[in-house]
């Protein structure tokens, strides 16, 4: 397992500073949740960590390897995977084929051959493992377009798992998922706990407090607190800035 270290990360869009001197230590094997109100800069931060978005200053390291100037693809090769807030699957392919493509990309195969990807036993086997870990193996043959919203989220997780990540960035995996689907998803993530280092951005506070080892609170681009779920829940500054309004809603 691998740690994730963030030092003094910043990002501005014009005069607006969206992430402001963010430093974060995510220990190997822990689930570290980042919470905060809308507009706090959470998705910008995770985009900087994944390499989708460049940073104006600061550094990101996976274990002992600094990756600040590496592309998203280069970070994936080093073991960093992101599950997107907005689902990013191919609707005209089955769940199995979608995950097999991720396995193929991980192994360095060219996408010129992706039409035959799901026909290869080795790809299928690895893809089925990822689907099983995400709780979607029973829908392997279903077209992605026919999956429910909750199943899309599971497929997205399976695609991320197929890259064999060391560090997994989860960007609101429960967005739009409710009831039993949400409970099942949380249980799936609990089963993965300890196998990967995970950074979780999530508005569902019940899920955050059920999953996270530690929680960091981001408000207006700055981290105002980091601690155990119990410490964060009882922090007066956090309650005033965020949790109070969430619990009253």
Q: Write the CATH number for 52.
A: 3.40.50.300
pLDDT, one tens digit per residue, over 131-183 is 999 999 999 999 999 999 999 999 999 999 998 999 999 999 998 898 888 99
* 38-42, 49-53, 200-204, 244-248: least confidently modelled range: 244-248
pLDDT on residue 190? 94
Q: CB-based contacts of 100: which residues, under 8 Å, 6+ apart?
A: 117, 118, 120, 123, 124, 126, 127, 162
Number of structural domains (the chain) is 2
Distance CA 122, CA 104 (A): 10
Last residue of a domain, one of 139, 164, 189: 164
pLDDT, one tens digit per residue, over 220-238 is 999 999 999 999 999 998 8
* Residue 122 CB neighbour total at 10 angstroms: 11
CA angle 226, 228, 232 (to 5 degrees): 65
Check whether residue 22 and residue 49 sit in a common domain. Answer: yes
Distance CA 234, CA 91 (A): 44
Check whether residue 100 and residue 201 sit in a common domain. Answer: no
Check whether residue 154 and residue 198 sit in a common domain. Answer: no
Check whether residue 8 and residue 66 sit in a common domain. Answer: yes
Last residue of a domain, one of 137, 164, 191: 164
Give yes or no for residue 116 having a pLDDT over 70: no
The predicted model scores a pTM of 0.88
Check whether residue 51 and residue 5 sit in a common domain. Answer: yes
Distance CA 108, CA 106 (A): 5
Check whether residue 195 and residue 145 sit in a common domain. Answer: no
Check whether residue 70 and residue 114 sit in a common domain. Answer: no
**Pairing outcome for strands 57-62 and 167-171:** unpaired
pLDDT, one tens digit per residue, over 18-77 is 999 999 999 999 999 999 998 999 999 999 999 999 999 999 999 999 999 999 989 988
CA-wise closest residue to 76 among 120, 54, 108 = 108
Give yes or no for residue 111 having a pLDDT over 60: no
The CB-side HSE value for 197 (13 A sphere, CA atoms) comes to: 15
The parent domain of residue 204 ranges over 1-79+165-249
Alpha-carbon torsion 143, 145, 151, 155, what sign?
A: positive
Distance CA 207, CA 174 (A): 9
pLDDT on residue 208? 95
Check whether residue 55 and residue 174 sit in a common domain. Answer: yes
């Amino acid at each position: 397992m691998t740690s994730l270290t963030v030092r003094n990360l910043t990002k501005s869009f014009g005069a607006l500073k969206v992430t402001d001197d963010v430093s974060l230590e995510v220990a190997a094997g822990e689930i570290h949740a980042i919470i905060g109100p809308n507009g706090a800069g959470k998705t910008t931060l995770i985009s900087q960590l994944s390499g989708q978005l460049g940073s104006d200053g600061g550094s990101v390291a996976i274990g002992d390897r600094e990756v600040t100037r590496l592309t998203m693809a280069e970070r994936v090769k080093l073991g960093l995977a992101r599950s997107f807030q907005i689902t990013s699957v191919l609707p005209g392919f089955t769940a199995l084929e979608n995950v097999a493509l991720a396995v193929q990309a991980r192994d360095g195969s060219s996408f010129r051959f992706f039409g035959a990807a799901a026909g290869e036993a080795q790809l299928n086997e690895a893809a089925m493992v990822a689907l099983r870990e995400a709780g979607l193996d029973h829908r392997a043959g279903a077209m992605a377009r026919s999956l429910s919203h909750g199943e899309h989220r599971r497929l997205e997780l399976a695609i991320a798992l197929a890259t064999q990540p060391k560090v997994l960035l989860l960007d609101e995996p429960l967005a739009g998922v409710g009831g039993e689907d949400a409970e099942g998803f949380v249980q799936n993530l609990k089963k993965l706990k300890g196998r990967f280092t995970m950074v979780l951005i999530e508005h569902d506070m019940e899920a955050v407090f059920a999953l996270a080892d530690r929680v960091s609170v981001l408000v207006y681009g700055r981290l105002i607190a980091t601690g155990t779920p119990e410490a964060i829940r009882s922090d007066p500054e956090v309650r005033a800035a965020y949790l109070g309004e969430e619990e009253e809603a």
